[in-house]
Amino acid sequence: MALAINKAPVNSGLGLGDSEFNLFRKLIYEQAGISLSDAKKPLVAGRLSKRLRQLGISSYIEYFRRVQRDSQELQVTIDLLTTNETYFFREPKHFDFLRNQILPGAIGRGPFRVWSGACSSGEEPYTIAMVLAEVLGQRPWEIVASDLSTRVLQEAAGGLYPQADCSGIPRHLLHKHCLKGVGQHEGSVLVSPALRERVSFRQINLNNALPKLGTFDVIFLRNVMIYFDIDTKRRVIERILPLLRPGGHFMISHSENLNGVSDALKPVRPSIYRKPDA
Question: DSSP state, 104?
Answer: G
Amino acid type, 17: G
What are the distances in angstroms from CA 66 to CA 59, 73, 77, 114?
11, 7, 11, 38
* 8 A C-beta contact, residue 149 and residue 78: yes
What are the distances in angstroms from CA 162 to CA 118, 156, 158, 187?
21, 13, 12, 6
Go through 240-251 and write b for each residue having 16 or more CB atoms within 10 A of its CB, e for each that does not.
Answer: beebbbeebbbb
The dihedral region occupied by 135, where left means phi > 0, alpha psi between -120 and 50, and beta the remainder, is alpha
Annotation says 269 is catalytic: no
CA–CA gap between residue 174 and residue 180 (Å, rounded): 9
Catalytic position from the list 47, 113, 196, 222:
47
Amino acid type, 8: A
* Positive or negative torsion for Cα 30, 33, 37, 39: negative
CA–CA gap between residue 92 and residue 127 (Å, rounded): 10
Return the ∠ at Cα 70 (arms to 64 and 76), rounded to 5°: 75
Annotation says 263 is catalytic: no
Catalytic position from the list 25, 79, 147, 198:
147
Active-site positions read 47, 147
